[in-house]
């Protein structure tokens, strides 16, 4: 008997992509709790591993080696990932507020956001210096500074272990570049008090050997473009200033109504805050029963306890206590490939300790680089013929990659009887109809997408922009919309939450396009599907596929590659930053582009049949051919890399068969990649094309002239 998927009944929201949550997501992917819907919220697609920061600064690691890819990790865990900044938690309303989107509801939440720096409070710091966290901006500024020529002057504020590791790494990197450098570590008290005297002496000697001056018991007055000025009047030369001191909690935590200690969330031995539905771990939490210093080792050790206790809060198991160890192994980088190890008052230093530290760090990161491959369930032993072929080699793509091939739909539509109403004119290649109502000309179209990401808000944005594409491609102004929503099986509470997210987002996108949502229909199914039926008004005749003239320039308003990037995301091989960049392109509306392309002779939106398929449709309808300049065709970040690895959207082979005369391999393969919410493709008179392209770029579109229409039928590539 076929069992439908189990319904979703509880929302678990993970705020922040810190080390505890990263390990928890990995564990969840291997042992999910049926019925729980997991959401991870983080400002960007990656979370840096701070343990390797000094190694990166010294030049021992590449920048990418420090990143935990949260998009890949969320896909592995079956979680939705929301890339955005949390602005607060409403603990009574059970909602998390995220910048620029509807609130995210939760039944159970966990906070693992780390800490921020209060360095920018120093006069002149925000103008002339860069905090060591967040890592992204710091890494970019440091790489730029390191690659300059001439003498260097660097100051690091904060004489704890983090500051000492940072200044030694910088000294080592500058020495390798053979740059004369003056480096200073500044602290307002005594440096290195968290380590034992023997270890502190070893670190001080390492700093001295690297030519670093340590200034202690010194208060900073202000920072200028090339100096740190102390309150006693001393001026320390520094044209690169950073800070690794003053750990402070994020400001929004103060307004949660949770019990805090110095701004950090107080948690008990179960990692539960004063509100039993909200947990916290890592540096943002204060362990009230066993206070411990802020150190990554505790965040890592908390992960298995948090994993079990969140499941208990969601309805399964019994609570476990977290017992932090009294002391832990401190491994401190000494600039070069040498490190100091300290535990229980004993310390050792040298290259062997660096090898040990590197082994521990790489082992931690490999947990996220090499996620276990979870096997698909085997086919039943007895099944009807054709099952293997129908299933295909890989899971079906969502979005436009899940579309029925062009041939199947066109064949069936062409067999339908011709319309008998005089006021309805089908526009077959445009997936639309022209309705004549009195003197008004109205176009009507319908589109839907099968969910390919777990976030209903982002999915709705993409589906709305995608459906509006048909209206914009005809040069029409969107007028009215109805929504069709299929939700996966879920409890009534989760249905209400999800529908609220979907409809408030749909209303926002459709209204921004100048139209109104007037109703819709919802039902339950095996998976999420979101669609829209739309009408639009034309001031003049609609722009169709059939008006292109030989010699017209072809303009494309968005890069290609969404099909291959999202197929790569589903397979767990696309980098998170590629996915984030592709999603940003997909949610970009084309209304302003449509208005600037009002003089086009023919226009279409590039969607499921790929650029080659849609261009061929335009060529055939217009009775001419087209020549493409493959080099000029813009592509999304990561699309070429994934395509070269053989990643393909489900619809690729069907699309390839539409234009067999074109070559395959390399960039050409992206011509057959199905696009979701793709760009507009317009045939514009050649004498207007450059001006139109310039206007589109000014309006924020990555518009490019990619070829022209020709006399000879068919498609060709310019050599």
Contact 107, 12 (CB under 8 A): yes
**Where is 486: in which H helix or E strand?**
strand 477-488
Tell me, what's the pLDDT at 699?
A: 96
Which residues are CB-neighbours of 562 under 8 A, at least 6 positions away? 399, 400, 582, 585, 586, 636, 673, 674, 675, 676, 677, 678
Instruction: Using pLDDT thresholds of 50, 70 and 90, give the confidence band for residue 579.
Output: very high
Question: Which numeric CATH code is attached to 399-717?
Answer: 3.90.650.10
Tell me, what's the pLDDT at 290?
A: 77
Q: Which residues of 49-81 are buried (b: 16+ CB within 10 A; e: fewer)?
A: bbbbbbbbbbbbbeeeebbbbbbbbbbbbebbb
Q: Angle at which helices 351-369 and 19-30 pack, to 10 degrees?
A: 50
Give span(s): CATH 3.50.50.60, the chain. Answer: 10-115+249-326, 119-245
Strands 432-437 and 440-450, sheet pairing: antiparallel
Tell me, what's the pLDDT at 423?
A: 85
The C-alpha atoms of residue 317 and residue 70 are separated, in whole angstroms, by 27
Looking at domain 119-245, does it have CATH number 3.20.20.70? Answer: no
Strands 95-98 and 104-105, sheet pairing: antiparallel
pTM, to two decimals: 0.91
Q: What are phi and psi of 662, to 5 degrees?
A: -85, 155
Active site residue 624: no
The predicted-structure confidence for 42-70, as pLDDT tens digits, reads as follows 999 999 898 899 999 999 999 999 999 99
Given the residues 400, 588, 624, 693, the one annotated as active site: 400
Q: By percentage, how much of the chain surpasses pLDDT 70?
A: 95
Tell me, what's the pLDDT at 246?
A: 72
Instruction: Using pLDDT thresholds of 50, 70 and 90, give the confidence band for residue 433.
Output: confident
| DSSP class of 160 | S
Tell me, what's the pLDDT at 447?
A: 93
Give span(s): CATH 3.90.650.10, the chain. Answer: 399-717
Question: Which numeric CATH code is attached to 10-115+249-326?
Answer: 3.50.50.60
pLDDT above 90 for 488: yes
Sign of CA dihedral 304, 308, 313, 314: positive
User: What are the structure tokens assigned to 495, written together?
Assistant: 């249905």
The C-alpha atoms of residue 499 and residue 690 are separated, in whole angstroms, by 44
Contact 455, 80 (CB under 8 A): yes
Contact 347, 196 (CB under 8 A): yes
Instruction: Using alpha carbons, list the distances in angstroms from residue 468 to 338, 403, 461, 560, 587.
Output: 59, 17, 11, 18, 11
Full 3-state SS string of 299-362: HHHHHHHHHHHHHHHHCCCCCCCCCCCCCCCEEEECCCCCEEEEECCEEEEEHHHHHHHHHHHH
Contact 449, 463 (CB under 8 A): yes
The predicted-structure confidence for 517-550, as pLDDT tens digits, reads as follows 999 999 999 899 999 999 999 988 899 999 999 9
pLDDT above 90 for 675: yes
Sign of CA dihedral 601, 602, 606, 610: negative
């Amino acid at each position: 008997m076929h069992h439908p998927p189990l319904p979703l009944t509880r929302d678990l929201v993970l705020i922040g992509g810190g080390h505890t949550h990263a390990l928890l997501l990995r564990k969840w992917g291997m042992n999910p709790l049926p019925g729980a819907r997991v959401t991870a919220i983080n400002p960007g697609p990656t979370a840096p591993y701070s343990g390797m920061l000094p190694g990166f600064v010294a030049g021992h690691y590449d920048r990418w080696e420090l990143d935990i890819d949260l998009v890949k990790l969320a896909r592995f865990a079956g979680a939705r990932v929301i890339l955005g900044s949390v602005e607060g938690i409403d603990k009574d309303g059970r909602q998390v507020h995220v910048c620029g989107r509807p609130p995210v509801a939760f039944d159970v939440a966990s906070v693992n956001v780390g800490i921020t720096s209060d360095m920018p409070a120093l006069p002149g710091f925000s103008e002339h210096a860069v905090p060591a966290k967040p890592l992204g901006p710091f890494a970019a500024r440091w790489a730029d500074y390191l690659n300059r020529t001439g003498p260097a002057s660097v100051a690091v504020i904060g004489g704890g272990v983090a500051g000492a590791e940072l200044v030694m790494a910088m000294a080592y990197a500058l020495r390798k570049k053979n740059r004369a450098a003056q480096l200073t570590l500044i602290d307002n008290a005594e440096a290195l008090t968290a380590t034992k005297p023997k270890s502190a002496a070893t670190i001080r000697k390492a700093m001295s050997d690297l030519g670093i001056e340590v200034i202690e018991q010194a208060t900073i007055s202000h920072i200028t473009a090339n100096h740190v000025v102390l309150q006693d009047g001393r001026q320390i030369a520094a044209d690169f200033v950073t800070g690794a001191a003053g750990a402070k909690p994020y400001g929004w935590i103060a307004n949660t109504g949770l019990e805090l200690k110095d701004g950090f969330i107080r948690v008990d031995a179960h990692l539960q805050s004063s509100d039993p539905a909200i947990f916290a771990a890592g540096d943002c939490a204060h362990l009230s029963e066993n206070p411990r210093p802020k150190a990554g080792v505790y965040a890592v050790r908390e992960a298995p306890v948090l994993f079990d206790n969140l499941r208990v809060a969601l309805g399964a198991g019994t609570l476990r206590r977290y017992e932090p160890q009294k002391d832990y192994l401190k491994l401190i980088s000494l600039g070069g490939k040498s490190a100091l190890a300290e535990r229980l008052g004993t310390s050792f230093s040298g290259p062997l300790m660096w090898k040990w530290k590197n082994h521990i760090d790489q082992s931690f990161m490999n947990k996220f680089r090499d996620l276990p491959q979870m096997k698909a369930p085997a086919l039943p032993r007895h099944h009807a013929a054709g099952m293997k072929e129908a299933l295909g080699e890989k899971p079906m793509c969502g979005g436009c990659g899940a579309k029925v091939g062009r041939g199947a739909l066109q064949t069936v539509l062409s067999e339908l009887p011709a319309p008998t109403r005089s006021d309805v004119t089908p526009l077959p290649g445009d997936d639309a109809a022209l309705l004549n109502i009195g003197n008004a000309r109205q176009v009507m179209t319908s589109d839907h997408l099968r969910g390919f990401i777990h976030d209903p808000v982002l999915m709705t944005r993409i589906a709305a922009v995608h459906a509006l594409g048909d209206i914009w491609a005809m040069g029409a102004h969107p007028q009215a919309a109805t929504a069709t929503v299929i939700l996966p099986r879920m409890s009534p509470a989760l249905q209400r939450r999800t529908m609220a997210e979907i409809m408030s987002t749909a209303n926002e996108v459709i209204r921004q396009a100048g139209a109104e949502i007037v109703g819709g229909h919802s039902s339950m199914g095996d998976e999420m599907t979101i669609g829209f039926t739309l009408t639009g008004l034309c001031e003049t005749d609609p722009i169709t596929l059939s008006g292109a003239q030989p010699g017209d320039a072809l303009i494309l308003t968005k890069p290609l590659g969404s099909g291959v990037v999202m197929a790569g995301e589903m397979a767990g091989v696309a980098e998170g930053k590629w996915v984030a960049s592709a999603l940003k392109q997909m949610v970009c509306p084309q209304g302003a582009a449509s208005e600037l392309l009002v003089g086009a002779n023919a226009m279409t939106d590039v969607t499921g049949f790929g650029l080659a398929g849609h261009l061929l449709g335009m060529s055939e309808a217009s009775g001419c051919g087209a020549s493409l300049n493959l080099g000029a065709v813009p592509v999304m970040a990561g699309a070429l890399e994934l395509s070269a690895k053989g990643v393909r959207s489900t619809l690729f082979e069907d699309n390839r068969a539409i234009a067999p005369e074109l070559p395959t391999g390399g960039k050409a393969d992206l011509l057959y990649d199905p696009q979701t919410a793709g760009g507009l493709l317009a045939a514009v008179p050649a004498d207007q094309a450059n001006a139109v392209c310039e206007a589109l770029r000014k309006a924020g579109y990555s518009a490019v002239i990619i070829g022209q229409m020709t006399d000879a039928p068919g498609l060709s590539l310019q050599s």
